[in-house]
Amino acid sequence: MAFRCSFDLEDDDQVLFEETSSVRKVVLNRPTKLNCLTYEMVTQMSRALEAYECDPAVECITLKGKGKAFCAGGDVKGVICTSGAGHWSFAGAFYRSELMLDYLIATYTKPVIALVDGIVMGGGAGLAMHAAFRVVTENTVFAMPEASIGLFADVGASKFLSKLPGSFGEYLALTGTRLDGGEMLACGLASHYVLSKDLPLLEKNLCEEAPLRKSTISDLLSRFAHKPNLKENSSFRRLEIINRCFSKPTVEEILSSLQENEVENDGEKKWIKDAIRSMRSASPTSLKITLKSMREGRAQTMEQCLTREYTISCHMLRRSMHRDFYEGSRAMLIDKDNKPQWDPPKLELVTDEMVDKFFVSLDGIDPYWVNLQLPIRSGQTMARAKL
């Protein structure tokens, strides 16, 4: 599969690092690309966070993005184009580094505050949702739309989505539905809701507080926090029907249940139609992988979830069993014809045996493709308590 790829030259300052008193600010600085993560950004942030963690003068970290996005995801186009050109090592190294950064944030021994004032999707959610404090605004838009490009909900989503009420996490992962800041607060993805205009003053006050303990930060955020009204058409208001449909054991049964509820509940037709449409346009294989990953994540640790997600992603990158990730990226991100040709094209053609192969250990497959090895960190217990 050949790709017609082009790359823009960019400045080296894709991440800005600022110091004010005991606060270190990490600012994603690719506003024209919605702050999509590159390999360079991931490695720069990892190095900085590791240094800050060891520095006794640093008490708190803030993460934010320039422009209208916090971070719209990883640089999938760059990964696909380099892989398609035969540079497999780059794709594997990028994804490994991204998950290691997510794990570092999830187990960080100092408070991390994600200021999510805009779009947060995919890899951006991997940064924000693992932070101790997840601050959203009226500008925030969250989604995990990976199945639409032949991928699956990763970057720890099988942990942070599976912890949401009922089957709401399955609903978000399988449909790619967007949430606003109020919905994120209501379902538990966000810890605080602050008006966008108040963020500069919040940051200023944060830098003036001393010492900056977790309890101090919590009190400060609470002083700025608002309780937004959940919009009338919010999908979170439909949790009863979502639980009824998305708790079914298979993707086929979930779709069937949605169709039945569409007929029986006239007032719910729009959001159900949207859910059915999203699932039918996504990769059938990705949907089944996503559901299995989510269900396993509910009973696993963060370490197990990230390790499993890395294994699945590597199998996808290798293209030995499945080419939908490349085809979906071509159709949606590169050629933009929005007409991916999924293989297999129907859910009923995707067997359990086919899905199970993506969960098989990488050991022994190839010298390069090995299981993710996460370091032992003193903050591991924190990762289990944040959501």
Token readout for 32 is 């024209």
């900085």: which residue's tokens? 48
CA triplet 63, 65, 66: central angle to 5 degrees?
Answer: 140
Rounded to the nearest 10 degrees, the angle between the axes of helix 251-264 and helix 239-246 is: 140
Q: What are φ and ψ of residue 285, in 5° steps? A: -65, -45
What string of DSSP letters covers 346-373? SGGGS-HHHHHGGGS--TTT-SS-----
Beta bridge partners of 17: 26
Active-site hit among 117, 146, 262, 303: 146
Active-site hit among 59, 75, 102, 154: 154
- 18 is known as an active-site residue: no
3-state secondary structure of 15: strand
Active-site hit among 84, 118, 123, 150: 123
Token readout for 23 is 């606060």
- 146 is known as an active-site residue: yes
Residues sharing a CB contact under 8 Å with residue 188, sequence separation 6 or more, in sequence order: 163, 164, 165, 387
151, 208 in Cβ contact below 8 A?
A: no
Alpha helix (H) residue ranges in the chain: 39-54, 76-84, 88-106, 123-128, 157-160, 168-175, 181-187, 199-208, 214-224, 239-246, 251-264, 269-281, 284-297, 302-318, 324-329, 352-356, 380-383
Q: Distance between CA atoms of 79 and 330, rounded to whole angstroms?
A: 12
Q: Distance between CA atoms of 16 and 134, rounded to whole angstroms?
A: 20
Active-site hit among 65, 73, 74, 328: 74
13, 30 in Cβ contact below 8 A?
A: no
What string of DSSP letters covers 125-142? HHHHTTSSEEEE-TT-EE
Annotate 201-215 with b (16+ C-beta within 10 A) or e (fewer).
Answer: ebbeebbebeebeee
- 297 is known as an active-site residue: no
- 154 is known as an active-site residue: yes
Q: Distance between CA atoms of 143 and 363, rounded to whole angstroms?
A: 32
Catalytic residues: 74, 123, 146, 154
